């Protein structure tokens, strides 16, 4: 098969496959094409690809002739109808929000695999792009907060006076939240965590943070690991506990998400007013509305003396490792759907293929997405 790597648009710094990963595909008998400069922002030059027998081809040729098109985000041409019908697109397309684009792709007879829809099972872990990228985002969020914070993170006793440790509140203890806990603890902060899934309490405590207990959480055990919506009574109790924690916090790292839905608003304007001037909020849920009042997606603003950063793509700011991990996820997925004869082998009985295949053979085949289109 001919696998084409497209250069990302709009300032995205990641590339979907690195040279050593392309080499594996070529050794397996595939041909790999690269749009010139696609890896540059991730420090993978064209020459590093050609050294692994990747050919540099024009974007037009890749778009018209490749069997598989790799990119992180949806290539703009796929909205314009200029990709060869029958081509396979693999990336992170957020189909729960972009369902009209998915309908257009099915009409164009494109086969699309959106890797953010891969089920969160043990077998799928090596292809789980949400985890690999969220891990980086959680780490970067804490470093960014430390950079913007006008005080130290660790406690110090010096001849020039004592420094109290920074207090960090983390909202949501999924992959990003837990990495943020670990990173903030390594920097010496005192960390508190809120999550609606009581199951994460032990993980939070084992990282040396305090878990904010709220009774009566809804059962999320059948939601594939994701959080579920909570009762009004629970939300009120949680709000009270979060308000107490916000009033003490210097830094908030917000990561709470509900799959395919707007992010829950957990910090109100009244709570924000209780924070000390110079406090910092990093909201990773900004692209779906944010967890914190006043946060604007892709902007850094000030409100009531607090710096608010809305950024849901912090992994893009660490493009080397983000590409390395994303590329490994993509490579593992390609090895699942391309057989030894280098032919496409789609097994719709496989929950991984079924979960992330959104369009195929002129139809929207993913039932969650087709229901949204109705």
Contact positions vs ligand NAD (CB under 6 A): 120-122, 124-125, 128, 130-131, 134, 171-177, 194-197, 225-227, 255-259, 264, 266
What are residue 331's DSSP bridge partners? Answer: none
Strands 167-171 and 88-91, how do they pair? Answer: unpaired
For residue 97, give the 3-state DSSP assignment.
coil
For residue 359, give the 3-state DSSP assignment.
strand
Set 67, 128, 195, 250: catalytic member? 128
Nearer CB in complex with ligand NAD: 1/170:
170
**Shortest distance, CB of residue 311 to ligand NAD, whole angstroms?**
15
Cα gap 174→170, rounded to integer Å: 10
Nearer CB in complex with ligand NAD: 121/206:
121
Q: Under a CB-based contact definition with an 8 Å cutoff, are residues 198 and 173 in contact? A: no
Residue 131 annotated as catalytic? yes
Nearer CB in complex with ligand NAD: 169/308:
169
**Shortest distance, CB of residue 18 to ligand NAD, whole angstroms?**
22
Nearest one of 189, 180, 191 to 256, comparing CA atoms:
180
**Shortest distance, CB of residue 178 to ligand NAD, whole angstroms?**
8
Residue 250 annotated as catalytic? no
Nearer CB in complex with ligand NAD: 25/309:
309
Q: Please spell the DSSP secondary structure of 51-88, one letter per residue.
A: TTTPEEE-HHHHHHH-SEEE-SSPPTHHHHT-S-TT-E
Set 9, 36, 125, 302: catalytic member? 125
Set 84, 120, 151, 241: catalytic member? 120
**Shortest distance, CB of residue 78 to ligand NAD, whole angstroms?**
25
Set 226, 231, 240, 343: catalytic member? 226
**Shortest distance, CB of residue 200 to ligand NAD, whole angstroms?**
6
Which residue, judged by CB position, is nearest to ligand NAD in the bound state?
174
Nearer CB in complex with ligand NAD: 65/269:
269
Count of Cβ atoms closer than 10 Å to residue 189 Cβ: 28
Q: Which residues of 219-256 are buried (b: 16+ CB within 10 A; e: fewer)?
A: ebeeeeeebeebeeebeebbbeebeebbeebbbbbbbb
Residue 59 annotated as catalytic? no
Instruction: Output the CA torsion sign for 175, 181, 183, 186.
Output: negative
Residue 226 annotated as catalytic? yes
As annotated, the active-site residues are: 120, 125, 128, 131, 226
């Amino acid at each position: 098969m001919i696998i084409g790597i497209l250069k990302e648009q709009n300032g995205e710094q990641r590339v979907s496959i690195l040279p050593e990963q392309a080499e594996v595909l070529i050794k397996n008998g595939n041909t790999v094409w690269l749009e010139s400069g696609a890896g540059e922002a991730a420090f993978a030059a064209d020459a590093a690809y050609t050294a692994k027998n990747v050919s540099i081809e024009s974007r037009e040729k890749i778009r018209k002739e490749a069997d598989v098109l790799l990119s992180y985000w949806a290539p703009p041409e796929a909205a314009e109808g200029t990709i060869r019908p029958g081509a396979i697109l693999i990336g992170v397309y957020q189909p729960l929000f972009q369902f009209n684009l998915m309908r257009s792709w099915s009409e164009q007879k494109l086969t699309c695999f959106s890797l953010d829809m891969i089920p969160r099972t043990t077998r799928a872990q090596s292809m789980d792009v949400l985890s690999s990228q969220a891990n980086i985002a959680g780490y970067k969020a804490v470093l960014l907060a430390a950079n913007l914070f006008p005080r130290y993170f660790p406690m110090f006793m010096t001849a020039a006076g004592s420094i109290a440790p920074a207090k960090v509140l983390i909202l949501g203890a999924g992959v990003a939240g837990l990495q943020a806990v670990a990173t903030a603890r390594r920097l010496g902060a005192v960390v508190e965590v809120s999550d609606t899934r009581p199951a994460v309490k032990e993980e939070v405590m084992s990282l040396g943070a305090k878990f904010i207990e709220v009774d009566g959480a809804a059962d999320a055990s059948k939601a594939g690991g994701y959080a579920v919506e909570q009762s009004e009574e629970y939300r009120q109790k949680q709000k009270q506990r979060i308000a107490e924690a916000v009033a003490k916090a210097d830094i908030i790292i917000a990561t709470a998400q509900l799959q395919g839905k707007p992010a829950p608003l957990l910090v109100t304007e009244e709570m924000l007013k209780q924070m000390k001037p110079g406090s910092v909020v990093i909201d990773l849920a900004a692209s779906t509305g944010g967890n914190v009042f006043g946060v604007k997606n892709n902007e850094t603003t000030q409100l009531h003396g607090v710096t608010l950063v809305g950024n849901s793509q912090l992994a893009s700011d660490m493009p080397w490792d983000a590409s390395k991990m994303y590329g490994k996820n993509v490579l593992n997925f390609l090895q699942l759907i391309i057989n030894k004869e280098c032919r496409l082998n789609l097994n719709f009985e496989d929950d991984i293929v079924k979960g992330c295949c959104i369009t195929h053979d002129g139809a929207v085949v993913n039932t969650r997405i087709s229901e949204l289109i109705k």
